[in-house]
Amino acid sequence: MHCPILLADMNSFFASVHQALDPVLRGRPVIVAGDPAKRHGIVLAASYEAKACGIQTGIAVGEARNLCPKGVFIKPQYSHYVNFSTRIVRIMKDFTPLVEPFSIDEAFMDVSGCGQLFGTSPEIALKLKGRIKEDVGILCSVGVAPNKLLAKMAAGMQKPDGLTVLDLTEVPVRMWPLPVRELFGVGRRLEKRLRDLNIHTIGELAGYPLPVLQKRFGLMGQVLHLSANGIDYSPVEPHSLEKVKSVGHQITLPRDYRGYHEIEGVILELCEMVCRRVRLGGYVGRTVNLSLKDTEFLWISRSRTVAHYTATATEVYRAAVELLHLHWPDWKPVRMVGVSLAGLVKNTAEQLDLFGEVERARRLNAACDRIRDRFGEQSILRAVSLTPSGVLRDRDGRTLDG
Annotated catalytic residues are: 106
| 179/40 Cα distance (integer angstroms) | 31
CB of 392 to other proteins, least distance (A): 14
CB 166 within 8 A of CB 144: yes
| 57/71 Cα distance (integer angstroms) | 14
Q: Which span sits near other proteins by CB under 8 A: 27-35, 77-85, 251-259, 347-355?
A: 77-85
Site string for other proteins, 153-192 (x = CB under 8 A): -------------------------------xx-------
Helix H or strand E segment including 174: helix 171-174
Determine if 215 is a binding residue for other proteins (CB under 8 A). Answer: no
Give percent helix, percent strand, percent coil of the chain, each to the nearest 5: 45, 20, 35
Q: Which span sits near other proteins by CB under 8 A: 41-49, 153-161, 227-235, 303-311?
A: 227-235
| 125/166 Cα distance (integer angstroms) | 13
| 393/402 Cα distance (integer angstroms) | 11
Q: Site for other proteins (CB under 8 A): which residue of 101, 156, 160, 172?
A: 101
Q: Site for other proteins (CB under 8 A): which residue of 22, 298, 375, 398?
A: 375
| Cα dihedral 303, 307, 311, 315 sign | negative
Determine if 137 is a binding residue for other proteins (CB under 8 A). Answer: no
Half-sphere exposure of 152 (CA within 13 A, CB side): 21
Q: Site for other proteins (CB under 8 A): which residue of 74, 139, 149, 263?
A: 149
Determine if 93 is a binding residue for other proteins (CB under 8 A). Answer: yes
CB 73 within 8 A of CB 31: yes
Q: Site for other proteins (CB under 8 A): which residue of 13, 48, 81, 95?
A: 81
| 299/226 Cα distance (integer angstroms) | 34
Binding to other proteins in span 293-332, by CB under 8 A: none
Q: By C-alpha distance, which of 17, 22, 21 is closest to 46?
A: 17
CB of 367 to other proteins, least distance (A): 11
Site string for other proteins, 106-125 (x = CB under 8 A): --x-----------------
CB of 191 to other proteins, least distance (A): 15
Determine if 281 is a binding residue for other proteins (CB under 8 A). Answer: yes
| Cα dihedral 63, 65, 68, 72 sign | positive
Task: List residues near other proteins by CB under 8 A.
Answer: 78-79, 81-87, 89-90, 93, 100-104, 108, 148-149, 184-185, 219, 222-223, 226-227, 232-235, 237, 240-242, 244, 247, 249, 277, 280-281, 369-370, 373-376
